[in-house]
Amino acid sequence: MKRTMKELADYLGCTLEGDGAAHVSAVASATSARAEDLIYVESPRHLDPAAASAAKCVVIAQGLTLPGKSLLRATNPKLTFARAAEWLVPPAPIAQGIHPTAVIAPSAQIAPGVGVGPYVVIEDDVQIDAGTQIGAFCYLGRGSRLGEGCRLYPRVTLYAGARLANRVILHSGAVIGSDGFGYVNQDGRHLKFPQVGEVEIQDDVEIGANATIDRGSLDRTEIGAGTKLDNLVHIAHNVRIGENTVIAAQTGVSGSSVIGKSVAIGGQVGIADHCEIEEAAVIGAQAGIPSGKIVRNGQTVWGTPARPLDKFKKQFAWFSRLPELAERVKRLENRIIARGE
């Protein structure tokens, strides 16, 4: 989509400096940009690459200058750039119309404007609201519910009864509503505990490729509105995650843990069962949260077992000195032996 800088300024609510008639058709980094690409500069260290860039149009922070370019002044250039990208480069359609190879149960309710790609399977009593797009080879189990404007990339699986609200994005390979890992031991054998609960994904959630979200055991697994899960994240049964939380790749959350809103969790974090991560907490990459632990509101923790960041830094500093300390102890022992003590 091609726009002028004047149109962009009006849409974004930015102050325009330079040629309002300059055309913008895409977004890029400063190093890879072409003449009609939009780039952004949020700090002085980005000025030199931007000045050397072929791009003529720049979203730039207040107080910075960039001669020879058309500028959009923004308080938060990265956010403004993201909004511009959303307008200039809307996502390509996943599916349009109903493909003839799709297998759709007669009782499924599909609203006007829904796209269903090749070889999709839609079972009995599935409900799909307007504007949702279902990519090739997706499977929607019996009684699933999908709100408006959802986007399911190819090979997504919804088990029976899974519920998606509006504008949910599921990337390829995501599985929603699989059985939780719950067993009861009887004489050394593991007997399956019922996994008959629900799974509910609220508005504007995005779930990465090959992520898995189990249904509740007897209750419900919930993902709050605006939450974003990276690729290969696993959410176990009965977990509840609040609004606008972000979880990076390869993190696993064990059963019945509760994660508050606006929490940030790094990659490869392990959260054991029945933990509570309170609002706005930060969990550093590869941290381990033991069973039943509470991470308090706004706290930042790191390490395994996870501990407050300041404590982790002190302990890690001592840990890195262990070879030196061991050598000092060895020298002291040798002196004692030499004196015959």
Distances (CA, A) of 333 to 318, 322, 324: 21, 16, 14
- Under a CB-based contact definition with an 8 Å cutoff, are residues 224 and 206 in contact? no
Task: Decide if 50 contacts 26 (C-beta within 8 A).
Answer: no
Which DSSP state fits 179? P
201 beta partners: 164, 223
Q: Which of 171, 234, 237, 274 is catalytic?
A: 237
**Does residue 237 carry a catalytic annotation?**
yes
For residue 205, give Cα distances in angstroms to 32, 33, 174, 250. Answer: 30, 30, 13, 18
State residue 318 phi and psi, 5-degree precision: -65, -40
Torsion of CA 287, 293, 297, 299, to 10 degrees: -30
Catalytic residues: 237
